[in-house]
Chain A
Amino acid sequence: MIWDDAAGAAADLQRVGYLADDRIAQVVFLADRLEKPILAEGPAGVGKTSLALAVAAATERKLVRLQCYEGLDEAKALYEWNYHKQLLRLQSDEGKAWYEIEGDIFTEDFLLERPLLEAIRAEEPVVLLIDEVDRVEMETEALLLEVLDAFQVTVPELGTVVARHRPVVILTSNNTRELSEALKRRCLFLHIDYPSVERETRILMERVPELSAVMADKIARTVRSIRELAVRKAPSVSESIDWARTLLALGVDDVDAKITADTLEVLLKYQSDIELTQSELLAT
């Protein structure tokens, strides 16, 4: 148990520069108490991955990261035998009987640890980040279930490896597909949406310390109004931070329609979105 209550979790996260709202703090706190993984879902760039980084930093634990992609398999997620090394070993032992060697080549010396096994076998407690889990196929998802359920992995040659310490696990998803019920059931669900104006203002001031409070507020409000439009890709928090930096670099001290129009490319990545914003918000 790391924290006494959700406020403690929020304070620790804030110390490392992550401004958690009540919801995030509550879920992080519960994840530790209930020893359950967090499934963080939401649009791109709202701080799902950085939540994991922040939890690791706040608890001074090592972060083990598994980046998911289509085609990710056991050998890349869990473990793999170091075939080349095994081959060398066999060659150097030429002349020995099979039963003498067999026991030798399936030992830890020849095991290539991948993120999931690494998190389970870690000596010290770690934070395990399974990033963009919606990218793997349904079948690969099943592989995660054993890990998330009991924090154990079965390697046929070595037996079952049980975690010494339950890691804090954070899965992120951009929700490009519905994850399986089985996976969702095992997790605490955390929907992270675009922050409120107040929270975004605080995030901006935290991340761009030179920014004045008035400017941060103005930027947050402008970005919210753009998000309200029917744009294809709404500006993320990281993009509003970039925009704040841009405005600062330009030496602007007030956000108006003109400067917004001139720097819109920082916030919006599609030409059609830029045009829409121009005509809906900025045209006079």
Chain B
Amino acid sequence: MIDTLASFVSELRAVGIPVSTAEAIDAAAALQHVDVGKEASVREALAATMIKVPRYRRAFDTAFDVFFGVGAVEGAEWETSAAGTENAGELAEGIAAALHNDDIAALRRLVGDAVSQLAGFQPGRPVGGRYYLYRVLQRLEGVEELLEDPTDDDRLARAIAADDVAALMERLRMELRREIVRRLVADRGPDPVARTLREALAEDIDLMHATRDELDRIESAIAPLAQKLATRLAQRKRRGGHGRLDLRRTIRASLAHGGALVAPQFRAPRRTKPEIVLLCDVSGSMATFARFTMQFTYAVASQFSRVRTFAFVDEIDDVTRFFGPDHGFAAGLARMTREARLVGRDGHSDYGVVWQRFVERHADVVTPQTTLIVTGDARNNYRDTRTDLFADVANRARAAFWLNPEARRFWDTGDSVMALYARECTAVFEVRTLRQLERFVEQVALWTQKAPLRSLN
């Protein structure tokens, strides 16, 4: 058991979950007190001692199934042929009934059969568990339909019914996943299986290459992360040291001590809140990155004296009016896509035209108090870059930062003109994950001319 625990702990660390030695010792101590035959007890005991951030729980559960899942069921053999799919309909019916009646024993048995017959497993083949899960689910697609209970009641009743089905399907996915993991472990041993199942934590997912499912996870992670950043910044602002020496008050105070300068007096610290102007490329693949940047910036908006947002593709529009504390962020985004004029001609990024329009219409927005933040991949579709105009804007600002979600090695390849714009910026950052984005926003909020920004990694 201790050996398994040790491999389990190193797997958690490999995923990126910090587990201290003290916590691992606590976990071992906790195992002394629980019934190790009961999977659920062991799971909760280990989670309580080692997982201190709810976000990590999903990765923990995945690894737990690999290392502590019950061994393969006796007699449950994989059928290596791709055949057996003719039973899919029957299995789906059985599974739907078991889910509906909440019959766990029947469900587990049928899930075992389904994996045996539908996964098309080949021993030793280095395919991840997700592939098998996908295959089985695809062949069991009848289940969802069978669970649906056509109701012509009102919308509320339909929504409740849909959520019921979603909960049951999640249940099925979980059981299938466990069953598949169980068998893979029996075939290959825990360590390699854990490696193929390993998933990046939400804050480490590459924003540019995220799958749908990963985007959902980023989505649910961003609000709490942004909110925590806001609280942290608010606290830091309130504390902080004192300002410059106040000579007048020091001399005044010295009169009480017969003119000896024993008690230096300081000015209250002067903290200017930066004024932010966001310029976001929202064309195609950049849209997701732009919205994450906006969401983070608006979450800490109280740390800035003002935030103005412009979105652009090959036309630029002031979209500040859609966002702010009075509107929900999602609603604002929907209105922006609907109402803002962002496309001029063909819907492909044209930075040159955008700078030109910005200078024509919004030049007064950028002042020496402004921190300018541009998000985009600087892929200009081989069009005129108008670096001269961008330089004018950037030089007028207090600082100009460019966030590029592409990997640095792809900059200046193809139609990317990052280097041309980078010359005019205070700093350019490769921002590929939420973690880097969070760090950037935090630094910008605290930025002063004296302290250059640190690297985001």
A and B pair up: yes
Q: Which of A76-84, A106-114, A220-228 contacts B (4 or more CB under 8 A)?
A: A220-228
A72 in contact (CB, < 8 A): no
Do A283 and B51 have beta carbons less than 8 Å apart? Answer: no
Expressed in whole angstroms, the Cα–Cα distance for A176 and B34 within the complex equals: 32
Expressed in whole angstroms, the Cα–Cα distance for A272 and B327 within the complex equals: 8
Could you say which residues of chain A place their CB within 8 Å of the CB of B330?
230
* Interface of chain A residues 225 through 268 with chain B (CB within 8 A): 225, 228, 230, 232, 256-257, 260
Q: Bits for B37-57, please: 1 = Cβ < 8 Å to A, else 0.
A: 000110011011101101001
B196 in contact (CB, < 8 A): no
Expressed in whole angstroms, the Cα–Cα distance for A34 and B25 within the complex equals: 11
Do A188 and B49 have beta carbons less than 8 Å apart? Answer: yes
Shortest CB distance A116–B (Å): 22
Do B155 and A225 have beta carbons less than 8 Å apart? Answer: no
Q: Which of B88-96, B226-234, B335-343 contacts A (4 or more CB under 8 A)?
A: B226-234
Q: Pick the contact of A178 from B26, B29, B47, B228 — CB < 8 Å?
A: B228
Do B44 and A197 have beta carbons less than 8 Å apart? Answer: no
Residue count of chain B within 8 Å CB distance of chain A: 39
Nearest A-chain residue to B235, judged by Cβ: A137
Do B34 and A177 have beta carbons less than 8 Å apart? Answer: no
Q: Bits for A180-203, please: 1 = Cβ < 8 Å to B, else 0.
A: 010011011111000001000000
B346 in contact (CB, < 8 A): no
* Interface of chain A residues 155 through 211 with chain B (CB within 8 A): 175-178, 181, 184-185, 187-191, 197
Could you say which residues of chain A place their CB within 8 Å of the CB of B164?
221
* Interface of chain A residues 119 through 149 with chain B (CB within 8 A): 137-138
Given A33-B33, A232-B328, are A257 and B156 neighbors across the interface (CB < 8 Å)?
yes
Most buried by B among A33, A189, A272, A282: A189
Could you say which residues of chain A place their CB within 8 Å of the CB of B156?
222, 225, 256-257, 260, 281-282
B113 in contact (CB, < 8 A): no
Expressed in whole angstroms, the Cα–Cα distance for A225 and B33 within the complex equals: 38
* Interface of chain B residues 44 through 75 with chain A (CB within 8 A): 44-45, 47-49, 51-52, 54, 57
Could you say which residues of chain B place their CB within 8 Å of the CB of A33?
30, 33
Expressed in whole angstroms, the Cα–Cα distance for A188 and B57 within the complex equals: 14
B interface majority secondary structure: helix
Do B155 and A27 have beta carbons less than 8 Å apart? Answer: no
Expressed in whole angstroms, the Cα–Cα distance for A212 and B2 within the complex equals: 49
Shortest CB distance B189–A (Å): 29
Q: Bits for A87-116, please: 1 = Cβ < 8 Å to B, else 0.
A: 000000000000000000000000000000
Shortest CB distance B147–A (Å): 15
Nearest B-chain residue to A1, judged by Cβ: B33
Shortest CB distance A213–B (Å): 15
A41 in contact (CB, < 8 A): yes
Nearest A-chain residue to B239, judged by Cβ: A137
B255 in contact (CB, < 8 A): no
Expressed in whole angstroms, the Cα–Cα distance for A91 and B44 within the complex equals: 60
Nearest A-chain residue to B20, judged by Cβ: A185
A26 in contact (CB, < 8 A): yes
Q: Pick the contact of B224 from A5, A30, A175 — CB < 8 Å?
A: A175
Q: Pick the contact of B41 from A26, A224, A228 — CB < 8 Å?
A: A26
Q: Pick the contact of B163 from A30, A225, A230 — CB < 8 Å?
A: A225
Do A283 and B155 have beta carbons less than 8 Å apart? Answer: yes
Could you say which residues of chain B place their CB within 8 Å of the CB of A138?
235
Could you say which residues of chain B place their CB within 8 Å of the CB of A85?
none
Expressed in whole angstroms, the Cα–Cα distance for A239 and B231 within the complex equals: 26
Do B44 and A221 have beta carbons less than 8 Å apart? Answer: no
B86 in contact (CB, < 8 A): no
Shortest CB distance B434–A (Å): 15
Could you say which residues of chain A place their CB within 8 Å of the CB of B49?
30, 188-189
Shortest CB distance A43–B (Å): 11
Could you say which residues of chain A place their CB within 8 Å of the CB of B235?
137-138, 177
The contact sample of 22 A-B pairs, CB cut-off 8 A, is A6-B41, A22-B44, A26-B41, A29-B33, A30-B30, A30-B33, A30-B49, A33-B33, A138-B235, A178-B232, A185-B22, A189-B48, A189-B49, A189-B52, A197-B167, A225-B163, A228-B163, A256-B154, A257-B154, A276-B328, A281-B156, A282-B155
12 additional contacts (CB under 8 A) given A22-B40, A22-B44, A197-B167:
A23-B47, A26-B41, A26-B45, A30-B33, A175-B228, A185-B52, A188-B26, A189-B49, A191-B54, A221-B160, A256-B157, A260-B156
Q: Sort A-B residue pairs by CB-CB distance and give the 3 closest, nearest first.
A: A26-B44, A184-B52, A257-B156
Residues of B within 8 A of A (CB): 18, 20, 22-23, 26, 29-30, 33-35, 40-41, 44-45, 47-49, 51-52, 54, 57, 154-157, 159-160, 163-164, 167, 224, 227-228, 231-232, 235, 239, 328, 330
